[in-house]
Chains A and B, each alone.
Chain A
Amino acid sequence: MIGLVVVSHSQKAAEGICELAAEMGGDAPLEAAGGDNGEIGTSADRIGEAIAAADDGDGVVVLVDLGSAVMNAELAIEMTDANARIADAPILEGALNAAVEATNDKSTLESVLEKAEDAREYRKR
């Protein structure tokens, strides 16, 4: 199954998004990689560990918030053996979409990535 990693500057935000996504796609491996040693920030090492934990060999889609979250996720992906991709998507909506698609038996890394990125189109009014 495709794994998901949620990277936020805030540990609470990352965990909260995982909590919501788990409601939608309960079986998908979901890992929160929030904060940097307990403070606001992001850490490539921490993201790398989350990718390893979420990967069962099929690949991982990484949802990110802003700025250094993108850079540290890129760096973590360069340093891992897992097949991981960053979704160009809003972190919360993308994670929910991805979690639903990941529980589909026929889902692939590409299909989960695509569903996550579809979340860019969500309008609020």
Chain B
Amino acid sequence: MADDPTQRAAIVAAAGAVADRLEAEKSHLTDLDSAIGDADHGSNLARGFRAAADAVEDDEESSPQELVKKIGVTLISKVGGAAGPLYGGSIMSASQTLEGGLTAETSVDFAEAYLQKVQDRGGAQLGAKTMVDALTPAVHTYKKSIEVDELPPLTALAKATAAAERGVEFTVPLRAQKGRASFLGWRSVGHQDPGATSTWFIMQELLKVADDYLDGETDVDARSPTIPDETPQEVEES
């Protein structure tokens, strides 16, 4: 496990990288949200993560757990609508898993706690065209890569990020069942979910920052061996 100052530096760098990326993607996310939501996802999240990055940047005292909690609490204050409680509230709640510091093991606990809180709070199941559709494959892939395949955390995070991307694609043909998009009914079909998309963007930035701090491989094929072969031998022979 990296020492506390290194963990703190990584968390601060991650918050800054996410803020920069969301700022750059602001109009993209807002375009996605204007199709099926209220067109504020990009600006809301960008504003919130910038404030969160500023809040942790000069903090040299707090533990990794406290820093992550501070990111969550700041998002709750600065991000309006459902994104505040879903992103900020879930980060705040999941930060408890980092009490013993940020390790491969606690990062899996954090990911699982975050997904659970998002589902509890939002009430969305898989396939409802929400951020859960990107988060679930990402968290499952991450957990299995670390706990079953015993891959390095960086490699696991690369696979999880690739899995999140496939989850984002999965939201496109679905009919929305949660949030404002659900009021559109069939008109929501064919649009990519903004929350799933921003979740994937955030993971891409976490992966880049992790690459600066951890050893491992990031250029991995997400479909193998963590995701089973989609064309098994028997099928090809028949």
**Are A71 and B80 in contact (CB-based, < 8 A)?**
no
Q: Which of chain B's residues have a CB closer than 8 A to the CB of A74? A: 85, 121
**Are A42 and B121 in contact (CB-based, < 8 A)?**
no
The residue in B80, B86, B89 that gathers the most chain A C-beta atoms within 10 A of its C-beta is B80
Q: Which of chain B's residues have a CB closer than 8 A to the CB of A78? A: 89
B127 is an interface residue with CB less than 8 A from chain A: no
- With known contacts A42-B81, A43-B84, A44-B76, A75–B89 Cβ distance under 8 A: yes
Q: Tell me the complex Cα distance, A67–B80, Å.
A: 12
Q: Which of B40, B77, B122, B179 is close to A45, meaning CB atoms less than 8 Å apart?
A: B77
Q: Tell me the complex Cα distance, A36–B40, Å.
A: 12
Number of contacting residues on B, CB 8 A? Answer: 15
Q: Which of chain B's residues have a CB closer than 8 A to the CB of A11? A: none
| Interface SS, B side | helix
Q: Tell me the complex Cα distance, A2–B103, Å.
A: 46
A72 is an interface residue with CB less than 8 A from chain B: yes
Q: Which of chain A's residues have a CB closer than 8 A to the CB of B86? A: 71
A41 is an interface residue with CB less than 8 A from chain B: yes
Q: Which of chain A's residues have a CB closer than 8 A to the CB of B38? A: 40
Interface positions of B from 61 to 112, Cβ below 8 Å from A: 76-77, 80-82, 84-86, 89
Pick 25 A–B contacts, CB within 8 A, sort by A. A36-B80, A36-B81, A39-B80, A40-B38, A41-B40, A41-B80, A42-B81, A43-B77, A43-B80, A43-B84, A44-B85, A44-B89, A45-B76, A45-B77, A67-B82, A67-B179, A68-B80, A68-B82, A71-B85, A71-B89, A71-B122, A72-B84, A75-B76, A75-B84, A75-B121
**Are B76 and A41 in contact (CB-based, < 8 A)?**
no
Q: Tell me the complex Cα distance, A44–B85, Å.
A: 8
